[in-house]
A and B are shown apart, each in its own frame.
Chain A
Amino acid sequence: MAQRKPFRWHIAVFLAPAVLVYTAIMIVPLIGTLNLSLFNLTEAGERVFVGLRNFATLFGDPRWSESFWNALANNGWFFLVHMLVQNPVGVMLAALLSSPRLRMAAFYRTAIFIPTILSFVIVGFVWKLILSPIWGIAPGMLDAVGLKALFAPWLGREEYALTTLALISVWQFVGIPMMLIYAALLSIPDEVIEAAEMDGVTGWSQFRKIKLPLILPSIGIISILTFVGNFNAFDLIYVSQGALAGPNFSTDILGTFLYRTFFGFQLQLGDPHMGATIATAMFGIILVGVCVYLFAIQTRLRRYQF
């Protein structure tokens, strides 16, 4: 007769610290925020349950919904620039770095990675100074090569500001995809590469046909990290353009919209309930994005075991 397995207490004991900490600092505040979005104040200032009415205001009232869709569209563009510039450039840099003939690879690797460890405040401030039409070095440098006509006060023009900020963010974070892809490239066994070479697959076609499929899972992870990071972004815009995300809200993303609503701004008093509503919408957007990735993309990625 088989003896009933005793309950394995050690599992619960070892999991407990992480579960407790995670619950206390992540899950409870998250549920608190979701809960807060279901309440609002009456005229008399009492807090009452309003169901989904805050969401109806956010999506139904033209003033709120206009700001919301504007922020979401800007956020989408911000993400797109990262996907189109940051990640391909990151992959390219990693491919160059992993080339055995490259000299001073460690130096390049470090130099490109350094901006990533800088604070947003420093990055925002430095770039604002570089691009400043009054004190900046950008107009002078363009002038030196006879391209002064190309200079515009980029951060002050509605049509360029958001793209400029997205590229600044790309400059700061390009080191992360580079490092992850670099690590993935290094982990490709030499036998695979040698076999490819025996078959006459070298150079560009070797990268495309052999290496790229092997690093696709890493690219997937980077994409999802970029997505989550971009839709939670706030710091860079706040530091360089302020909470009003000027000019004319052209750099307003969900993070700055949430900040203005939740904490208030200048004479506008903060509205925690509408703020929580926006936060919940952001949470929803990120959740949907991550789910799409997990179920639609990641399950189809082929993995290779060596």
Chain B
Amino acid sequence: MTGTFRLALLASTVLGGAAAAQDVTLTIESWRNDDLQIWQDTIIPAFEAANPGIKVDFAPSAPAEYNAVLNSKLDAGSAGDLITCRPFEASLELFSKGRIADLSDLAAMANFPDVAKSAWQTDDGAATFCVPMASVIHGFMYNKTAFDELGLTPPKTVDEFYAVLDRIKEDETYIPMAMGAADQWEAATMGYQNIGPTYWKGEEGRKALIDGSQKLTDEPWVEPFRQLAKWRDYLGDGFEAQTYPDSQNLFTLGRAAIYPTGSWEIGVFGPQIAGAFEMGAFPPPVAAEGDTCYISDHTDIAMGMNAGTEHPEEARKFLEWVGSAEFATLYANALPGFFSLNATAVEMQDPLAQEFVSWRETCEPTIRSTYQILSRGTPNLENETWNASANVITGAETPEEAAARLQQGLASWYEPQK
């Protein structure tokens, strides 16, 4: 009896082993370690159920180290099969070095509009190497409860915006706006890139800067800095030493009324606030009532294939699925604030996420002005913009000086701007 049992056990082990060997395991490289649980509990099981025989393993590393870690893994040949792509330069470099594969012929690519793919294409648009996953939208979050208390409504124009800030400042219950200058990127990303498109008219200005017909010292590019300089009076005490987490906490603890930010905070803030007050959002205010509004709808995350993968068939299968409407719905709902780039409209449950995404219908979308091409050289325009924006907010540089410095740096290596 025991003998038979042992034999059965042995047989099952051998057969089981053989069955497991037929399973292909795909490993995903990513910097989104915050999303580990969502991938493991929601996204991967959905794929595995529909595609027996393929196992997927989500293996993220820390965001700040991702680029360096990925590069060395790819050089050593130990990187995963699927690579989460940063937008523009970082991924383009991987593609031109032959580290990630050309995916232009993937059927799912047809599901994405050109602007969504532009972050993961060669400059001439001939080859696309990553499947776009999500974008993030900039705007302002506000404390609805505080606004109701003070009888305020979300501002539409710039004048209304400052009127609201003045009113909150007078009242003294709340800090009008939560933003710090210590980390620099807040000032640049949530300040300059947030309100900037309104002044440089989104894509129009961004492309004009790339082809050299506009300069950073032109009015549309200096005016956002002037606005940032005005914000100084509405920030909390000691904002010079206030960091990004400080700002987040000031807002989620209900001490600040307005928070210039991006949609990626939705998923994080919801549970932190836990109903203590109601959150709302408004898009960057326009100069005059009825003007076209512009929003930064920044293509942020995509997925490509390691050119050296042993399982290209299965990896492509997974990528086709990433490009499908099913994945878009799953992802957008699991991570509110990361909006699908898929051309098919996605149903979202989160009201704040719906608010953000509704601006796509009324406003002209663009991406962050410094990301495409302009941050290819040294000095790096994006990094310089961080420093310039923070300087303008603290008053270390005037808006004109900051703009002139950025222009000088860009012109030093970028041919069309010389």
- Are A247 and B242 CB-contacts (below 8 A) given A63-B409, A263-B68? no
Q: Does A269 contact B (CB under 8 A)?
A: yes
- CB < 8 Å A-B pair total: 105
Interface residues of B in 205-226 (CB under 8 A from A): none
Interface pair A267/B182, CB less than 8 Å apart: no
Interface pair B382/A266, CB less than 8 Å apart: yes
Interface pair B239/A267, CB less than 8 Å apart: no
- Give every chain A residue within 8 A of B379 (Cβ-Cβ): 63
**B9-22 interface mask toward A, CB cutoff 8 Å, 1 = contact, 0 = none?**
00000000000000
- Give every chain B residue within 8 A of A152 (Cβ-Cβ): 238
A267→B243 CA distance, assembly (Å): 20
Among A131, A242, A265, A271, contact of B241 (Cβ-Cβ < 8 Å):
A131
Q: Does B407 contact A (CB under 8 A)?
A: no
Interface residues of B in 179-225 (CB under 8 A from A): 180-185
- Give every chain A residue within 8 A of B386 (Cβ-Cβ): 244, 266
- Give every chain B residue within 8 A of A181 (Cβ-Cβ): none
- Give every chain A residue within 8 A of B370 (Cβ-Cβ): 267
A153→B242 CA distance, assembly (Å): 8
Among B68, B185, B239, contact of A270 (Cβ-Cβ < 8 Å):
B68
Stretch at the interface among B51-59, B160-168, B270-278, B389-397: B389-397
Which residue, of A128, A134, A265, A266, has the highest number of chain B Cβ atoms within 10 A? A134
A45 to nearest B CB, angstroms? 8
Among A133, A244, A264, A268, contact of B238 (Cβ-Cβ < 8 Å):
A133
Among A139, A244, A267, A268, contact of B184 (Cβ-Cβ < 8 Å):
A244
- Give every chain B residue within 8 A of A248 (Cβ-Cβ): 387, 390-391, 394, 396-397
Among A139, A155, A157, A269, contact of B90 (Cβ-Cβ < 8 Å):
A269
Q: Does A249 contact B (CB under 8 A)?
A: yes
A270→B90 CA distance, assembly (Å): 11
Interface pair B93/A269, CB less than 8 Å apart: yes
Q: Does A177 contact B (CB under 8 A)?
A: no
**B377-407 interface mask toward A, CB cutoff 8 Å, 1 = contact, 0 = none?**
0111011001100110010110000000000
Q: Does A223 contact B (CB under 8 A)?
A: no
Among A134, A266, A271, contact of B246 (Cβ-Cβ < 8 Å):
A134
A242→B68 CA distance, assembly (Å): 17
- Give every chain B residue within 8 A of A255 (Cβ-Cβ): none
- Give every chain B residue within 8 A of A293 (Cβ-Cβ): none
Interface pair A158/B236, CB less than 8 Å apart: no
- Give every chain B residue within 8 A of A202 (Cβ-Cβ): none
Interface pair B390/A134, CB less than 8 Å apart: no
- Are A247 and B396 CB-contacts (below 8 A) given A132-B246, A134-B246, A269-B89? yes
**B47-91 interface mask toward A, CB cutoff 8 Å, 1 = contact, 0 = none?**
000000000000000000001100000000000000000001110
Q: Does B42 contact A (CB under 8 A)?
A: no
Interface pair A134/B182, CB less than 8 Å apart: no
A139→B242 CA distance, assembly (Å): 14
- Give every chain B residue within 8 A of A207 (Cβ-Cβ): none
Interface pair A156/B239, CB less than 8 Å apart: yes
Interface pair A264/B182, CB less than 8 Å apart: no
- Are A247 and B383 CB-contacts (below 8 A) given A63-B409, A131-B241? no
Q: Does B354 contact A (CB under 8 A)?
A: no
Q: Does A154 contact B (CB under 8 A)?
A: yes
Interface residues of A in 256-280 (CB under 8 A from B): 263-271
- Give every chain A residue within 8 A of B394 (Cβ-Cβ): 156, 158, 247-248
Among A247, A263, A270, contact of B390 (Cβ-Cβ < 8 Å):
A247
Q: Does A90 contact B (CB under 8 A)?
A: no
Q: Does B371 contact A (CB under 8 A)?
A: yes
- Give every chain A residue within 8 A of B380 (Cβ-Cβ): 266-268
Among B183, B242, B383, contact of A267 (Cβ-Cβ < 8 Å):
B383
A152→B382 CA distance, assembly (Å): 29
Interface pair A268/B378, CB less than 8 Å apart: yes
- Give every chain B residue within 8 A of A244 (Cβ-Cβ): 184, 383, 386-387
A264→B93 CA distance, assembly (Å): 14
- Are A156 and B391 CB-contacts (below 8 A) given A134-B250, A267-B371? no
- Give every chain A residue within 8 A of B390 (Cβ-Cβ): 246-248
A151→B390 CA distance, assembly (Å): 21
- Give every chain B residue within 8 A of A249 (Cβ-Cβ): 387
What residue in chain A is nearest B242 (Cβ atoms)?
Answer: A134
- Give every chain A residue within 8 A of B397 (Cβ-Cβ): 248
Among A63, A247, A265, contact of B182 (Cβ-Cβ < 8 Å):
A247
Interface residues of A in 29-72 (CB under 8 A from B): 45, 63
A139→B380 CA distance, assembly (Å): 37
Interface pair B378/A156, CB less than 8 Å apart: no
Among B97, B240, B383, contact of A266 (Cβ-Cβ < 8 Å):
B383
Q: Does B375 contact A (CB under 8 A)?
A: yes
- Give every chain A residue within 8 A of B184 (Cβ-Cβ): 242, 244, 246
A256 to nearest B CB, angstroms? 13
**A229-252 interface mask toward B, CB cutoff 8 Å, 1 = contact, 0 = none?**
000000000000110101111000
Q: Does B237 contact A (CB under 8 A)?
A: yes
A238 to nearest B CB, angstroms? 11
Interface pair B183/A242, CB less than 8 Å apart: yes
Interface pair A133/B237, CB less than 8 Å apart: yes
What residue in chain B is nearest A260 (Cβ atoms)?
Answer: B383
A266→B87 CA distance, assembly (Å): 12
- Are A267 and B246 CB-contacts (below 8 A) given A247-B182, A247-B396? no
A248→B90 CA distance, assembly (Å): 26
Q: Does B412 contact A (CB under 8 A)?
A: yes
Interface residues of B in 240-278 (CB under 8 A from A): 240-243, 246, 249-250
CB within 8 Å of A: which residues of B?
A: 67-68, 88-90, 93, 97, 180-185, 236-243, 246, 249-250, 370-371, 375, 378-380, 382-383, 386-387, 390-391, 394, 396-397, 409, 412
Q: A156-B239, A247-B181, A271-B378 are in contact. List 8 more A-B contacts (CB 8 A).
A: A158-B394, A246-B390, A264-B68, A267-B88, A267-B371, A268-B375, A269-B90, A270-B68
27 pairs across A/B with beta carbons < 8 Å? A63-B378, A133-B238, A134-B237, A134-B242, A134-B250, A139-B238, A153-B239, A154-B241, A156-B182, A156-B239, A156-B240, A156-B242, A156-B394, A242-B183, A244-B383, A246-B182, A247-B396, A248-B391, A264-B68, A266-B380, A266-B383, A266-B386, A267-B370, A267-B371, A268-B375, A268-B378, A268-B380
CB within 8 Å of B: which residues of A?
A: 45, 63, 128, 131-135, 139, 152-158, 241-242, 244, 246-249, 263-271
Nearest 3 pairs between A and B by C-beta?
A: A133-B238, A156-B240, A156-B241
